[in-house]
Chains A and B, each alone.
Chain A
Amino acid sequence: MMTTPASTTTIDLVQRFPGSVSADTRPGYSGFIVEKDKLVEVATAIRDEFGFDLLTAVTGVDYLPENKMEVVYHAYKTTGGPGLCFKVQVPREDPVEVPSLIHIYPGVDLQEREAWDLLGIKFTGHPDLRRILMWEGFEGHPLRKDWKEAFYEEDAKPFKSRWPDGKFYMAEDNTPLKDNLNFPQNFDPEKWIPEDDQMLYQSLKRYTVKNEEGLETDRIVVNMGPQHPSTHGVFRAAITLDGETIVGLKPVVGYLHRNHDKIGERNTFLQNMPFTDRLDYFNSMSNNFGYAIAVEKLMNIPVAERADYIRVIMAELSRIQNHLVFIGMLLNDLGAMYTPALYAFEERELILDIFEAVSGARMMCNYLRFGGVVRDIPEDVMQKIKDMVFERLPAKTDEMDRLLSENEVLVSRLKGVKVLDAETAIKYSVTGPVLRAAGVPYDLRRADPYSVYDRFDFDVAVRQNGDMYDNYAIRLDEIRQSLRILEQAVKGIPQGPINSQKPQYQVRVPAGEAYGRIESPKGELAFYVVSNGKPNPWRYHVRPASFVNITALEEMCIGTKIADFVALLGMLDIVMGELDR
């Protein structure tokens, strides 16, 4: 079962823009290469003429040997179907400049800032090009191939120092400061003036108001986080308030930036599998799924049929526990402290028992392998899955529904509080339940089917109003649809091998690029992987749902009361591990 290719050449951009667009003909690559000067024009045409309204991913690749930097864009249609990949190549000389697409696709905002932060690609025309994951003042752009951290050992794993002469040492021992620290030459810490978020507050400055007499009034700035009980992790928001109304908001992220991309480019392809577990740590099975699909596309190998069913079963179980916990945590945020969350966690524990029995770990499953899964589902666990799917989970979902859905306090709190409408959601590249609650039936399981999802009969859950209540209710709808898929998958799972490949710890991946994406419980989770034929990827980029979804946070919150901020943030269902990576 192969999924549709990430991009297609049926659309003839070359003919539309002769001379400024050419097809990407490198072996293993696809899509189009656009001239830098024509980028804005071409992107406008892609959106307006060709109908690719959803720009899901923007990222850069540092082709150091060719002395080039490349920016890669992936655009899709919300009506479904294959996507379009276009790229810009610029010489790798400072400053690396590419025009920003923020006015055509506002959803690129944070992603362009990330590319600036980590790769040093300057997006001209971006109104707020600050660092995002690292702090202002940090030395260098870490994802550049010639940038090395203090604990750098070798370009690729496995490191030679581990075997056969693996004399143990701490990584600290080999650095001059005995720590993970690197300072520029002749740096004097006493003379250093920290930036202290000056640029952040300046970006909020436009909310200063002036009355007719020329009296300037500054709005109050409230910082929420990074340590805050209801920001779902170490998320920080700088909020400007007019009384209690939010007039400006900037998300500040990066407090959990664990350098997934940089470490991932040093790992072998297989070694990245357990690292993906730690992205969205509620749904390690889904993360494995997305990464496996991307690499399988690159390797061009089939997946064993039984394994495909097992993957679907695990991914849907994962979605159910994610959404149950979402509802519990949302009620926590709204002040219904803990009862719904405790009920949700009971079901979650029972689902995690299944994960632990098949994969060995509750949260960090590391269960998928390229071509299949690591081990079959034992008979007794299969029985347990059946018990859960046919008996317990439907009953418990109904119980959750009974407990909350009609509760007048909850309804009056949620109904009519706008989250996003369809147009804005698409504009900001929002995917997942938030988009569907706004009335856009865009679900990758249907829109761009992967794995064996095309064999199951299910409805894409859609709600029309896009308010908080719909965002809550759509989670229950999705749980019910997931149960439908699970019932069919459990009944229809074929016998057979669980991996199409032999177990091997070094896989051969031909050169090329792949963009593998899945519908994770939070939205579109995608992996952009570039291989140059070596055992480790040249570029490994995660397109996380949470990170792109918070692009719309400011738009969502402006005009609402600060008391609703926590609930609105909860609606996006962010997970910091995925957001910051």
Chain B
Amino acid sequence: MDNEKLSLPQYDIPEDIQNAVAITTLDRLYNWGRRSSVWPLMFGLACCAIEMIAAQASRYDMARFGMEVMRPTPRQADMMLVSGTVTKKMAPAIVRLYNQMPEPKYVVAMGACASGGGPFKEGYNVVAGIDKFIPVDVYIPGCPPTPQALIAGLIKLQEKIDKESIRKVRWYRKGPDTMEIPLPILGPDLIDPRRNAEIKMAAAETKEGA
């Protein structure tokens, strides 16, 4: 971000030192630092992952946004780009990766599949949207979103980061520092432990052989 955006508009800085001095709030500085260094988790699921790689490659070059450092380990990543169809078999792994990411963390659902199941929604092994398990910050429709669409979505995420305030963000508040999400279990179908009671009730009402 250039100086103009960092400086608060209501202060007049003499012209000769405009490029050297900026008056800003802590919030702005904090958000500016974070929005310009969002490191994605190197984690590709399906077709969208190829477009994600293309967005990293020379034509689109996500390095311009400070997003070029793909981290294969969740411990060093700030953003999880769920790039592709989330299957039931993969869901526990994704939730585990999310739990392992330190705060602040963001999730971008790239493409129709990650957002809501996509064309494969009707399939028996497909989770209809990753937001059933982890909170999603930005949804990017498209199948697959072109690299430009992906970057447009990531700019949207940056806008969201810009609006945050250091006093309100969840990771500086009291209590446990991350939201630990219970891992789904692979049973006769995917079991979300948060919904055990519901599942038991629904299963009791299921007819034999249905």
Which A residues are closer than 8 A to B by beta carbons?
Answer: 133-135, 137-139, 142, 149-153, 171-172, 176-177, 179-190, 192, 194-195, 226-229, 233-234, 254-259, 262-263, 266, 274-275, 278, 281-282, 341-342, 345-346, 348-349, 362-364, 576-577
Contacts and interface: CB of A to CB of B under 8 A. Distances in A.
Interface string B38-62: 0000111111011101100111000
B14 interface: no
B132 A179 contact: yes
19 contacts: A137-B187, A138-B189, A150-B124, A151-B128, A152-B122, A176-B202, A183-B206, A185-B203, A187-B200, A188-B200, A190-B200, A192-B187, A233-B44, A255-B89, A259-B123, A266-B122, A363-B50, A364-B143, A576-B46
B58 A346 contact: yes
A345 B62 CA distance: 14
Interface in B9-43: 42-43
A257 B87 contact: yes
A259 B120 contact: yes
B204 interface: yes
Given A133-B125, A258-B126, 10 more contacts: A137-B188, A138-B188, A184-B203, A185-B206, A229-B42, A233-B45, A262-B123, A262-B124, A363-B47, A364-B143
B123 A281 contact: no
Nearest to A146: B209
Interface of B: 42-47, 49-51, 53-54, 57-59, 70, 72, 84-85, 87, 89-90, 93, 97, 117, 119-128, 132, 143-144, 146, 185-191, 193, 195-196, 198-200, 202-208, 210
Which of B188, B191, B205 has the most chain A CB atoms closer than 10 A to its own CB?
B188
A79 B84 CA distance: 40
Contacts of B119: 274-275, 278
Given A179-B132, A226-B90, A262-B123, A190 B189 contact: no
Contacts of A255: 87, 89-90, 93
Contacts of A186: 203-204, 206
A182 B144 contact: no
Contacts of A345: 53-54, 57-59
Contact of B203 (A135, A171, A172, A183): A183
Nearest to B47: A281
A291 B132 CA distance: 34
Contact of A183 (B57, B87, B202): B202
Which of B43, B53, B122, B200 has the most chain A CB atoms closer than 10 A to its own CB?
B122
Nearest to B123: A259
Given A180-B128, A345-B58, A349-B54, A135 B123 contact: no
Contacts of A142: 124-125
A363 to B, nearest CB: 6
Contact of B199 (A181, A233, A257, A346): A181
